[in-house]
Structure 1
Amino acid sequence: MEDKKIIREKILKIRDGISTDERKKYDEEIFNKVIKSEYYKEAKNIFIFVSYKTEVDTHKIIKKALEDGKTICVPKVISKKDGMYGAKINKFSDLKPGKYGILEPGIENEKVNEQDIDLVLVPGAVFDMQGGRIGYGGGFYDRFLVKLREDVPKIAIAYNVQIIDKVPMDELDVKIDGIIYNG
């Protein structure tokens, strides 16, 4: 079985190659699937990543969820060693570029109790339909997701090019419960 690092590099190269026009079309399709999903409709407290570079655009989802009166929390990275936590945002402009250039909340944003979260929209590089996920190699999400209630849906949002037959999984890897994707 191929090494995770090799698979990640290969799939990210493909994802990076999606044209701007295709990406806009796919992002719109994924946005509509997310907001029409039962996961979204039933969730009051959503933890969602803030998209960066060639990830599926979550900015529109975040803005819509805030409009819909949902509580939105996003990742706030502490450090590679200490991981991240969820911080509540009240408006999209609460987000500012963090140390990796990714938009994140400030330290003034309230830390959310992981037990209050009832939907997580998960980023990643590669996924499979059995719940396998390859992230970006930092282990931030695997360490965060284990703090949630077991009944919380962990749903990846991705482009269809990011889905493969089988992702190699380690014992510390947390499985996802589903994928919302284009196509």
Structure 2
Amino acid sequence: MNLKSVKQQLRSRIMDERKALPAAERSEYSAQVCRLLAENEQLARARAIMAFHPFGAELDIFPFVEEARTRGQEIWLPLTLPSDRRLIPYRYEGKHMLKQGVYGIWEPDPAMAQEADLSKLDAVLVPGVAFDRQGGRMGYGGGYYDRFLATLGSRPFLVGIAFSMQVIDKVPREPHDICLDGLVTESGFFQT
């Protein structure tokens, strides 16, 4: 079986399992992850953090996003450009400046948001489907995050966000895949 098929089967299985998590558990685990993110010293020192708006059955990090904003940190959310297969981060100033993007994900409306200054980026909270404790991450298959991270001049602190059921022994990797520095689940914050 080729790598693409292996990834597709793994992606499908984990997304089905994640979708099957009861809403009460998803909410409880999301609160635990937000608390762990808020307690992390490296994230607390970050001036600018790129986050993401949760979609579907993803873990909800928005309580952390709002807390970081009240602490005076700059929060960015990505706008997805499918035609170019890339992400453009914009400063997040509140839910009023969001619109539903092409995948149904809430994203910044460029007419209401200011494009972020990439030289300020200190940390990126990275969504995904599967993760391992060696920094491996498997996304949704579009390559948006790997492509975005490869364009940065300096490397920010990269943290995967997941439920513990999304953590596997070894994520299938390709040469272009960028490894993460940490992973947070409801079970803890792990350096990779």
Same fold (TM over 0.5): yes
The one-character-per-residue Cα deviations of 1:44-65 (angstroms, maximum 9, x if unpaired) are 1000011111101022122111
Question: Is 1:152–2:156 an aligned residue pair?
Answer: yes
* Cα distance, 1:79 vs structure 2: 2.0
Counterpart CA distance in 2 for 1:48 and 1:89 is 9
Contact 1:80-1:138 at 8 Å conserved across structures:
no
* Cα distance, 1:148 vs structure 2: 2.6
The one-character-per-residue Cα deviations of 1:130-167 (angstroms, maximum 9, x if unpaired) are 11110001111010111234441100111000000001
Question: Is 1:38–2:47 an aligned residue pair?
Answer: no
What's the counterpart of residue 9 of structure 1? 12
Counterpart CA distance in 2 for 1:11 and 1:52 is 15
What's the counterpart of residue 28 of structure 2? 25
* Cα distance, 1:77 vs structure 2: 1.1
Counterpart CA distance in 2 for 1:83 and 1:49 is 14
What's the counterpart of residue 138 of structure 2? 134
CA RMSD of aligned residues (A): 1.4
Counterpart CA distance in 2 for 1:149 and 1:33 is 28
Question: Is 1:167–2:171 an aligned residue pair?
Answer: yes
Question: Is 1:47–2:47 an aligned residue pair?
Answer: no
Unaligned ranges ≥5, structure 1: none
What's the counterpart of residue 60 of structure 1? 63
Unaligned ranges ≥5, structure 2: 188-192
Provide the TM-score with structure 1 as the length reference: 0.94
Percent identity of equivalent pairs: 33
Query: Any idea what SS the aligned residue of 2:114 has?
Result: coil
